[in-house]
Amino acid sequence: MTQIARFITVEGLEGAGKTTVLNAIEAQLRTAGIDLVTTREPGGTPLGEEVRALLLGHKHDGMADDTELLLMFAARAEHLHRVIRPALAAGRWVLCDRFTDATYAYQGGGRGIDMARIATLEDFVQGDLRPHHTFLLDLPVRQGLDRAAGRSEPDRFEKQREAFFDAARATYRARAESEPGRFRVIDASQDLDGVLAQLKTSVAALLAEVGP
């Protein structure tokens, strides 16, 4: 395939089913002959994975909201430098589990940090690089938390109260509404077969849009 390399992200609350969906998108793109790199945030590099452990673990419970925000962007700067920009420059597509929309949703919506401050950091760290396509797996907060419960010891984010996730979901949905060309919203409250069927159609539409 000769299309311009695409940067695709997958977003959603805990228990939305990102892991399964990412695997399905990856398989469909590879079948279409696309060379891609799959990665995740926070993380995706050795430094980023260490920052992820700081952010998700409980060693620093109660860290300042601004510390959390800056650590997200520090990990992202490294990720862009080592993985995302080099892949796109080499013509490879990038499929990333979460990116800056998660920062708007969790640190902006959830923590209440001013969105304008997040936008300033976004410009500083990313320049004009933004995802081309974003799949948002949307489902009611309670349903996602119930699915996620019992998988393992809850991380620092999974321990937040429901109101935190309500605000994060509202932010995700508002962003999707304001950028309909970039976002594809998947109803993740359906069973797995239903979610995968929506996804297959959506990825096929994306492939048709970018052309051979």
* Binding residues vs ligand T5A (CB under 6 A): 12, 14-20, 41-42, 56, 72, 97-98, 102-103, 106-107, 147-148, 157, 188, 190-192, 195
Question: Read out DSSP for the chain?
Answer: --SPP-EEEEEE-TTS-HHHHHHHHHHHHHHTT--EEEEESS-SSHHHHHHHHHHHSSTTTT--HHHHHHHHHHHHHHHIIIIIHHHHHTT-EEEEE--HHHIIIIIIIIT---HHHHHHHHHHHHTT---SEEEEEE--HHHHHHHHTTSSS--TTTTS-HHHHHHHHHHHHHHHHH-TTTEEEEETTS-HHHHHHHHHHHHHHHHHHH--
Least distance between ligand T5A and beta carbon 157 (Å): 3
Considering the complex, state which of residue 56 and residue 210 has its C-beta at the smaller distance from ligand T5A: 56
Least distance between ligand T5A and beta carbon 182 (Å): 17
Considering the complex, state which of residue 32 and residue 74 has its C-beta at the smaller distance from ligand T5A: 74
Considering the complex, state which of residue 32 and residue 164 has its C-beta at the smaller distance from ligand T5A: 164
Least distance between ligand T5A and beta carbon 41 (Å): 4
Considering the complex, state which of residue 93 and residue 106 has its C-beta at the smaller distance from ligand T5A: 106
Least distance between ligand T5A and beta carbon 19 (Å): 4
